[in-house]
Amino acid sequence: MISAANIAPKQSSLKLGPETRIGVLYGGLSSEREVSLVSGKNCFEAIQRLGFKNAILIDVDRTIAQRLQDEKIELAYIVLHGKYGEDGCIQGLLELLDIPYTGCGVEASALTMNKATTKSVLKDAGLPVAQSILLHKDTDHEKIDEPVFLPFGYPVMVKPVTEGSSIGMSKVDKAEDLSEALRTAFQYADEVMLEAFIKGSSLTVGVIEMNGQPVVTPILQMKPLLSEWYDLKSKYTEGGTEFILPAKLSPNTTEAIQQATLQAFKAVGCRGVARIDFMVSEESDSKTIPPFYILEINTIPGMTSLSDLPAQAAAMGVPYDKLVEAILQTAVPA
């Protein structure tokens, strides 16, 4: 049987050089467009500083296939967050056009874009994930004013399964507030996950493929200052979050989370780069309650000045331009 871990983007014979026609794909059609515009511009400027003067920025819309051909793009640097960019769609198109591209392939991209599918694969791999149930728009949307059975009780996180950057997410503390949260979440996805709220610390860990080997970054701890949890406002408001890098964890917990990061990266078939989000539980008893849980996997992490991965890379001695170069090299591995 073929597993996602055995499937990667087609290897290219393209040799990178100063004249290589690189298309930096950014913007796009998802709800994360604004973040992508900033990420893409930053990456494009870094690529130019690296000496690739033939690179161009391409704001992705529904004419992208023609644009790639008209611009004679030889390599695609993907900085698209969310739907159509992070979910395998653009990757599949690029494979049809025989254009090498950065990061994960079609299967890993599609799998990790769906929080429920990701959780299922991670659970099968023996990795800790929070309890959850899944509601479907077609069958459950009309029932959102009725009580929903939660085997784990309240509070609960309500998450559209195919959105990132905390878009459409809510924390619900009591049953009477669930209906409104579900209505909001169903605006962004046809499936919504209700996940047990984990009281504790938010963490994220990057994986960067360098010289063909995945390297795990230091763990970043996020302490939101504007809300109870790490929501959209906390993520993209300057000063909205206190970042602790490296995270204040015991050596044993640090090692266990970094090992789980690498296991998760491999389990879902990632390649090139990813960022994996965790919660460390304050209620762990180390026997029945795990010390940490994996929440989700991001295959095209943000690259803004406030983004996590560039900060993690810098902490391990990899400045922004070198990070961009490492990601670029994933399109044409040696």
Is residue 45 among the annotated active site residues? no
Kindly name the residue from 28, 163, 275, 320 that is annotated as catalytic.
275
Rounded Cα–Cα distance for residues 115 and 325 (Å): 29
Measured CA to CA, the distance from residue 195 to residue 147 in angstroms comes to 16
d(CA 247, CA 244): 5
| CA–CA dist 241, 226 (Å, integer) | 7
Catalytic residue among 23, 168, 206, 302: 302
Specify whether 320 is catalytic: no
Instruction: Locate all alpha helices (DSSP H) within the chain, ordered by sequence.
Output: 33-49, 64-70, 89-96, 106-113, 115-124, 137-140, 178-186, 232-236, 251-267, 308-315, 320-329
| Helix (H) or strand (E) run with residue 4 in it | none
Rounded CA separation 3/308 (Å): 29
Has 142 been annotated as catalytic? no
Coil, strand, or helix at residue 301? coil
Please tell me which residue in 30, 114, 132, 165 is annotated as part of the active site.
Answer: 165
Active site residue 236: yes
Cα–Cα separations (whole angstroms), residue 129 to 75, 101, 116, 156, 280: 36, 31, 10, 14, 11
Q: Confirm whether 105 is a catalytic residue.
A: no
Q: Which of 31, 298, 307, 320 is catalytic?
A: 298
**Structure tokens, 82:** 């969310």
Of 74, 87, 209, 296, which one is the catalytic site residue? Answer: 296
Residue for token pair 């992490």: 301
Q: How far is CA 15 from CA 96, 199, 212, 250, in A?
A: 20, 48, 16, 44
Has 296 been annotated as catalytic? yes
CA atoms within 13 A on the CB side of 33: 9
Structure tokens at 151: 């085997």
Known active-site residue 13: no
Does residue 275 have an active-site annotation?
A: yes
The residue from 27, 28, 30, 32 that is catalytic is 32
Catalytic residue among 86, 87, 107, 277: 277
- For residue 214, the cross-strand partners are 209
Comparing CA positions, the residue from 207, 185, 169, 186 lying closest to residue 297 is 207
Which member of 101, 188, 230, 236 is catalytic?
Answer: 236
> Would you give the end-to-end CA distance of the chain in angstroms?
27
Give the residue numbers annotated as catalytic, written as ranges.
32, 165, 236, 275, 277, 296, 298, 302
